Amino acid sequence: MQSQFAQQGSRILAVENRIYEDTKVGDVFVTTTHFDTSAQVAIHKGYGTWEREAEGRSIVGYSSKTDSPEWTKTNGNIFGEYDHQLKIDEIPKHDFEIKFVSGTIGGTGSPATDSSSNAPPNLRTNTVGGDKAHNNVQPSKVYNVWKRIA
């Protein structure tokens, strides 16, 4: 009888002391707790080998929708940039008004321009913009994301 109680007690202790591994190898662990090292994550969780995942990147859900961009249809793809220098075809379509001054150059009947009276008109507008990169960062919140690798 004593032996049965001892066995039951041992089994209960084994169950109580068992480490429940809620994150499988290849899965991620997202937390508000900051860990400097993977060893700290292993101590906190009580198991596993870990590496940081998605450092400095937003997480985008996989998409099977036909109207979603192709880059959202491959698990693990990395895309995007923090800043982007807009190209001509990416800026809004616009035009500038060019105002002529009254009079002509050299009496030729040509509008007054930066050109001599012997050359075709060289009309220019003032430049606009600071030529800085466009910020693409969406409103975000930062969490610690760790991937279990063993």
Domain locations along the chain: 2-83+133-148, 86-130
- Three-class DSSP category at 17: helix
Task: Quickly state the pLDDT bin for 125 (edges 50, 70, 90).
Answer: confident
Sign of the alpha-carbon torsion through 40, 43, 44, 45? positive
Read off the pLDDT of each residue in 4-12 and give the average, rounded to a whole number: 75
Question: Greater confidence, 125 or 32?
Answer: 32
- Three-class DSSP category at 25: coil
Q: Supply the pLDDT for residue 27.
A: 96
Q: Supply the pLDDT for residue 54.
A: 94
Q: Beta strand 101-104 with 111-112: parallel, antiparallel or unpaired?
A: antiparallel
Lowest mean pLDDT among 3-12, 34-43, 86-95, 124-133: 3-12
User: 124 has which bridge partners?
Assistant: none
pLDDT tops 90 at residue 25? yes
**Structure tokens, 60:** 């985008």
Amino acid letter, residue 77: N
- pLDDT tens, position by position, 63-119: 999 999 999 999 999 988 888 888 888 888 887 776 655 555 555 554 555 555 555
Q: Supply the pLDDT for residue 111.
A: 54
| DSSP symbol at 138 | P
Concatenate the DSSP letters of all residues of 53-88 into one string: -STT---------TTS-GGGGSTT-----SEE---G
- CA 74 to chain centroid: 16
Tell me the average pLDDT of the chain. Answer: 82
pLDDT tops 90 at residue 5? no
- Three-class DSSP category at 48: coil
